[in-house]
């Protein structure tokens, strides 16, 4: 039975609720490779009953309150750029589209913070901040497609995560609508507050605990100059060991990104580079940056990594936001690699001690089924690092490709968990990884997450089936 939309339409301004077939169809899925594949062969995700184009926190609160009263499932949506099915609609649900909530509310250049509505896109935000000499420090990936709310909901990382971590470190204030329609406002504060930090509860929550409508982020000054270098390590493993040494010695580069030979060949296919590549960038204005840049090059020699000049690092920095276009070309209507092809990205992280095993085991599991596999180490920490594997499955037809893709994911996830890694670093769990997340969390962790959801979303209406493992009977 479809929800009683007339009562919702009466509570919201004219033009806020749409049941137009074209609009609801456009809100059925995100950019999950499997959903895009099925879409291409005519097996479309069932559309929602309606789309609410919310323009304010109050619109979201009104919609969620109505949904609780009527028992209607709600799916929050920002830009729809996620790749794990986190924004996939379910039949008879209402999608809350936040795209109209795209205002930058305030820039505080004294405190170096910015207050925004959740659907502000990264490219727009960075452009506005740049006029004041500021930026989102960690430089979120795919910022031309993604939104601030999406960054928080998926725990996004970025090009400068070596220095600034993830959105977790940038988030200092938050407004969210809970599952009963109540509005929760937190911060902004540089640190502290009574009890556990509730802001952190929504980082990585994927719209299952509340719908993020506004945020306050810490920002940083844009460097007036960068110090770049590119090193060629003997292997991916020796390059990773060098990164570990650099960070554990207290160096603070903005960029520290390691590409295995396959990833480097893809990224620098027009530059003739062969072998792994380590890309290094420092804020040239930072104290001791020049000295650290020099000493890193010298330290590299001890690990068998020689400097080959700044060209590769500069090229990558200038083109870092372009990968999403390649993915859309392969999986979208153009099908640039033909039918029977799926491309996807797997994200994981672990401690340094386990990283060589994680890299080899996950790569091996994917290569058992994929035509190509490439990897980048993109978010290093003193204690460990994150890896992102891009893999391409090619089969006789789309149905066979789907079967191979699902097998590849299952075996790769098993390899991740066996090596002590996580199945979800910064791309979310969505629908794709729910069973793997349940295994990683274990019975006690899954039950704890279920209890938190029950407290904040008593009727279980928010983004059903995503992230939170279903209760075990």
Mean pLDDT, residues 332-344: 92
pLDDT reported for residue 218: 98
Q: Please, what are the domains in the chain?
A: 5-97 (3.30.43.10), 104-221 (3.30.465.10), 226-318 (3.30.70.3450), 332-418 (3.30.300.330)
The CA–CA distances, whole Å, from 79 to 29, 120, 137, 143, 203 equal 11, 9, 21, 11, 17
Residues ≥6 apart with Cβ < 8 Å to 9: 16, 17
**Mean of pLDDT over the chain:** 95
DSSP character string of 182-226:
-EEEE---SS--SSS-GGGGGTT-TTSSEEEEEEEEE-EEPPSSE
Helix (H) or strand (E) segment spanning residue 279: strand 277-283
Q: Is the pLDDT of residue 277 over 70?
A: yes
Mean pLDDT, residues 290-308: 97
CA torsion through residues 349, 89, 406, 261, sign: negative
What is the total residue count of the chain?
473
CA torsion through residues 458, 462, 468, 473, sign: positive
Q: Is the pLDDT of residue 152 over 70?
A: yes
Residues ≥6 apart with Cβ < 8 Å to 336: 329, 330
pLDDT reported for residue 326: 78
Q: Is the pLDDT of residue 83 over 60?
A: yes
More confident: 3 or 470 = 3
Q: What is the pTM of this model?
A: 0.96
How many helices (H) and strands (E) the chain has is answered by 16, 18
Q: Is the pLDDT of residue 283 over 80?
A: yes
The answer to whether 433 touches 413, Cβ cutoff 8 Å, is yes
Q: Residue 343: which pLDDT band, with cuts at 50, 70 and 90?
A: very high
pLDDT digits (tens, 9 = 90+) for 241-271: 999 999 999 999 999 999 999 999 999 999 9
Mean pLDDT, residues 87-103: 95
pLDDT reported for residue 372: 98
pLDDT digits (tens, 9 = 90+) for 16-56: 999 999 999 999 999 999 999 999 888 989 999 999 999 99
- As a whole-number percent, the residues of the chain with pLDDT over 90 amount to 89
Alpha-carbon span 333 to 31, nearest angstrom: 12
Q: Is the pLDDT of residue 329 over 60?
A: yes
pLDDT reported for residue 357: 98
SS3 257: strand
Burial class (CB in 10 A: 0-12, 13-18, 19+), 397: exposed
pLDDT reported for residue 473: 55
Q: Is the pLDDT of residue 1 over 70?
A: no
Q: Is the pLDDT of residue 306 over 80?
A: yes
Peptide bond into 370 cis (omega under 30): no
The CA–CA distances, whole Å, from 54 to 6, 234, 414 equal 17, 53, 40
pLDDT reported for residue 91: 79
Q: Is the pLDDT of residue 220 over 80?
A: yes
Residues ≥6 apart with Cβ < 8 Å to 251: 292, 295, 296
pLDDT reported for residue 412: 99
Q: Residue 327: which pLDDT band, with cuts at 50, 70 and 90?
A: confident
Mean pLDDT, residues 362-376: 98
Owner of token pair 């989102």: 136
Owner of token pair 């859309």: 328
Query: In this structure, what DSSP letter does residue 311 have?
Result: H
Alpha-carbon span 75 to 323, nearest angstrom: 27
């Amino acid at each position: 039975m479809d929800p009683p939309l007339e009562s919702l339409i009466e509570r919201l301004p004219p033009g806020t609720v749409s049941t137009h077939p074209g609009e609801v169809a456009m809100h059925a899925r995100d950019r999950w490779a499997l959903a895009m594949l099925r879409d291409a062969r005519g097996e479309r995700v069932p559309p929602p009953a309606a789309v609410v184009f919310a323009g304010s926190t109050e619109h979201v609160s009104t919609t969620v309150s109505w949904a609780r009263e009527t028992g209607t499932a709600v799916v929050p949506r920002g830009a729809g750029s996620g790749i794990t099915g986190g924004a996939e609609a379910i039949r008879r649900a209402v999608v809350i589209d936040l795209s109209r909530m795209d205002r930058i509310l305030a820039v505080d250049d004294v405190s170096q913070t910015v207050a925004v509505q959740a659907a502000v896109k990264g490219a727009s935000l960075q452009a506005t901040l740049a006029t004041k000499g500021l930026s989102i420090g960690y430089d979120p990936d795919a910022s031309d497609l993604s939104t601030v709310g999406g960054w928080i909901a998926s725990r996004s990382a970025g090009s400068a995560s070596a220095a600034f971590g993830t959105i977790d470190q940038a988030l200092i204030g938050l407004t969210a609508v809970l599952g009963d329609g109540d509005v929760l406002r937190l911060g902004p504060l540089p640190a502290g507050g009574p009890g556990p930090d509730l802001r952190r509860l929504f980082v990585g929550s994927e719209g299952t605990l509340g719908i993020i409508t506004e945020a306050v982020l810490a920002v940083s000054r844009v460097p007036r100059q960068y110090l770049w270098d590119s090193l060629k390590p003997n292997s991916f493993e020796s390059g990773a060991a060098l990164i570990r040494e650099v960070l554990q010695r207290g160096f603070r580069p903005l960029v520290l990104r390691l590409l295995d030979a396959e990833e480097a060949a893809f990224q620098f296919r027009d530059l003739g580079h062969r072998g792994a590549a380590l890309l290094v960038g420092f804020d040239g204005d930072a104290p001791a940056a020049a000295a650290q840049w020099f000493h890193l090059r010298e330290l590299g020699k001890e690990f068998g990594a020689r400097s080959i000049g700044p060209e590769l690092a500069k090229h990558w920095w200038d083109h870092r936001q372009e990968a999403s276009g390649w993915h859309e070309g392969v999986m979208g209507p153009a099908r640039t690699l033909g039918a029977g092809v799926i491309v996807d990205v797997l994200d994981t992280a672990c401690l340094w001690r386990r990283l060589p095993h994680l890299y080899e085991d996950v790569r091996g599991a994917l290569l058992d089924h994929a035509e190509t596999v490439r990897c980048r180490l993109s978010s290093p920490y003193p204690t460990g690092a994150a890896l992102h594997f891009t893999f391409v499955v090619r089969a006789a037809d789309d149905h066979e490709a789907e079967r191979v893709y699902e097998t590849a994911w299952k075996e790769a996830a098993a390899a991740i968990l066996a090596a002590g890694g996580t199945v979800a670093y910064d791309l979310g769990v969505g629908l794709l990884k729910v069973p793997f997340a349940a295994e990683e969390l274990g019975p006690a962790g899954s039950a704890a997450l279920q209890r938190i959801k029950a407290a904040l979303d008593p009727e279980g209406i928010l983004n059903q089936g995503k992230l939170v493992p279903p209760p075990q009977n």
